[in-house]
Amino acid sequence: MRNHFNGLKTVALFAALGAVFLLFGWAIAAYFGNYWIIVIAGVLSLGSIAYSYWNSDKVALRSMKAMPVTESQSPVMFAIVRELSQKAGQPMPRLFISPALSPNAFATGRNPENAAVCCTEGILRILDDRELRGVLGHELMHVYNRDILTGSMAAAVASVITSVGQLFYFFSIFAGGNRDRGGGNPLVAIAMVILAPIAAALVQMAIGRTREYDADEDGAKLTGDPLALASALRKLEQGTQQAPLPPRQDLVNSSHLMITNPFRRGPGLRRLFASHPPIAERITRLEGMAGRQLG
């Protein structure tokens, strides 16, 4: 396994998210004329990170209504994950299946000893065993590279920023701020409600795209079959467009964990904020790996 500096990426990610949170707190404090709100924002930030650390797997699995499965229920999935985890010399994660017909898979959990890998019913229907092995190799490398915690916690912190922004907007309308102390500018409220979630999304996007490329490469090395993952990605791109997940907020918050974007492709601006790199580019990289192996 190659060192992708995920520890440094984690520190950079949460430094950036923490800065967004504190800037948000400062704007709210200035609006209401009470700078204790900055302290409250800091406490909320630390609390959300601590909660995410211990519950990152539960949040994602709950959003997909995933249930644990036994080896008798899914023998192929168990056989593949057992083989690949033993090959990597790493613990085998818990396995789950989501009833969603949208084809996808994801890994979650704070470390390899407390990780879970989930496949949807949709992905199990459209992939053959070789392609499924390529997908599971990708997900296992998210676990073994220890980068799934980064994505899980980033989603939780971004969700808190969005929720606080909505509360801020609500109270700015009905409480009116502290106008005697210079607060109460509705443009500040509107700007922060819009800009804070966008800033959080940009930080998530930058880390998320790098993580997907790394997991593609390392997963292909683990399976020894980059073309299997490339073939799976082709099917998944078509399948997720035919059967996308509904854009509920809990699913949006967990979508960056999935191997492909589970929602319908949006216009150019939405693609700019996508946490997943383009499928075509991922396939090209995997095909290049296969060519180098043959050479």
Residues annotated as catalytic are: 139
Tokens of 53: 């650390």
